[in-house]
Chain A
Amino acid sequence: MDFINIFIKSAFIDNMVLAYFLGMCSYLAVSKSVKTAFGLGLAVIFVLGITMPINWIINEYLLGETGIFKMDLTFLRFILFIAVIASMVQLVEMVIEKFSPGLYAALGIFLPLITVNCAILGGSLFMVSREYNFSESVAFGLGGGFGWFLAIIAIAAIREKIRYSNVPPALRGLGMAFILTGLMGIAFMSLMGIDPAALTGAK
């Protein structure tokens, strides 16, 4: 499988939010307006794109039996992965604060919250269980982040519109967001039959 295949597959067919329900907390909490959803989506793409290759290197060269320590250290995987993610998010936060104070102010609390966004750790764990190589894991990181970005923009746009509709009071807000996500998940399933290899092969 090549770069583009994995990118398309992880962005559309195996969408992080709509097929695996990863990153649901921030997806539901931050999707009230398109503007903040956009900023958070970009930050997620960025963090996923960085942490995935770093975690790949750690998993391959530190934890495996063929790694530097010549023993099976896979039980340390969770702790190391989450430490990488936490420090990367911290780093991204400092860089954004220095170079773009406007974006920093707009993202606010959501930036540190990316640490506990399951899509990030989930991406790294999927990468291990699917045995991707280095370039595939880069593609998976970027594609997965892009898919997450698309999903949060879509739900934020729908939620902005639905505010003017006559939803039953008990279903307003959260309940409706859940049902909408379910419908979007079904819509995205129609992409499942697509074979990305055939698409890129035809080029």
Chain B
Amino acid sequence: MAETTAVKETTKEPLFGKKERKLLTDPLNDNNPITVQVLGICSALAVTSLVYPSVVMAVAVTLVTAFSSLFTSLIRTMIPKQVRMIVQLVVIAALVTVVELTLRYMNYPIYKQLSVYIGLIITNCIVMGRLEAFAMANKPWRSFLDGLGNGLGYGAILIMVGVVRELFGKGSLFAGSPVEMKIIGPTAEYWINTQESVLFGWYTNNNLMVLPAAAMFVIGIIIWIQRSYNSKLVDVS
């Protein structure tokens, strides 16, 4: 779902060359930060029990990856090699502080709900991983796109997990946000915007999905599906 929207975004801007487009679309599937690079799992899985916090988290991480890549790339020639980790961390920490304060004043309830996980974007390995692997060696615009693409790929998985967990665990979608929907049945075709739906009235909420462990199962299954279609990702060892 989220993947298609991201792909649309790239086609909207035909000024990009092929390489730039690849930077944006690669992290969505072939080089996904969560399912392939195994980066950035740390801070975010605990927030995916509902869709709305997942979306907020996805946006926050995307902003931080994109702009930290941009800024680090701008100053990359000035950073001495020995202290580069600390310089990178300071750039990231400053951006995360900006995101945190903005969120606190814009939407306090969601800020409380995400609690320490916003701060943990600093140690989200995907941010630092992209700085080390890409932004330290590439020009600012490319680095920005790489950061943006990785943030989107990360957000796509986050939102997928959020949708599955909230739909089966609570029977609703976007709970807590202005577009809150109560959906009892598990099938997407019957989504309607009413208070009490009688569709699939027999469905009982699966409390397993609310537990943090369910996030692991859902991601495990996403990896399984992705690798079944994309055989070059299969672990041969």
Binding site for B on A (CB under 8 A): 18-25, 28-29, 75, 77-79, 82-83, 86, 112, 115-122, 125-126, 129, 168-176, 178-179, 181-183, 185-186, 189
Contacts and interface: CB of A to CB of B under 8 A. Distances in A.
Contacts of A28: 38, 41
Contacts of A78: 93, 96-97, 100, 119, 122
A-B interface, 4 closest residue pairs, ranked by CB to CB distance from nearest: A182-B216, A173-B235, A185-B213, A178-B220
Contact of A22 (B42, B220, B227, B235): B42
B227 A182 contact: no
B61 interface: no
Contacts, number: 136
A125 B117 CA distance: 9
Contact of A83 (B86, B116, B215, B216): B86
B55 interface: no
Nearest to A127: B116
B46 A21 contact: yes
Interface of B: 35, 38-43, 45-46, 85-86, 89-90, 93-94, 96-97, 100-101, 115-116, 119-120, 122-125, 128, 211-217, 219-221, 223-225, 227-228, 231, 234-235, 237
B234 A179 contact: no
A169 B45 CA distance: 25
A123 B45 CA distance: 16
Contact of A118 (B43, B93, B221, B224): B43
Contacts of A125: 116, 119-120
B224 A171 contact: yes
Given A79-B90, A125-B120, A25 B211 contact: no
Given A83-B89, A112-B85, A189-B211, A121 B45 contact: no
Contact of A79 (B43, B85, B97): B97
Given A112-B85, A171-B220, A23 B120 contact: no
A57 to B, nearest CB: 19
30 contacts: A18-B213, A21-B42, A21-B45, A24-B42, A28-B38, A75-B97, A78-B97, A79-B90, A79-B93, A112-B85, A115-B85, A118-B43, A118-B120, A119-B42, A120-B123, A121-B120, A122-B123, A169-B234, A170-B223, A170-B227, A170-B231, A171-B224, A171-B227, A172-B235, A174-B35, A175-B221, A175-B227, A179-B221, A182-B220, A185-B216
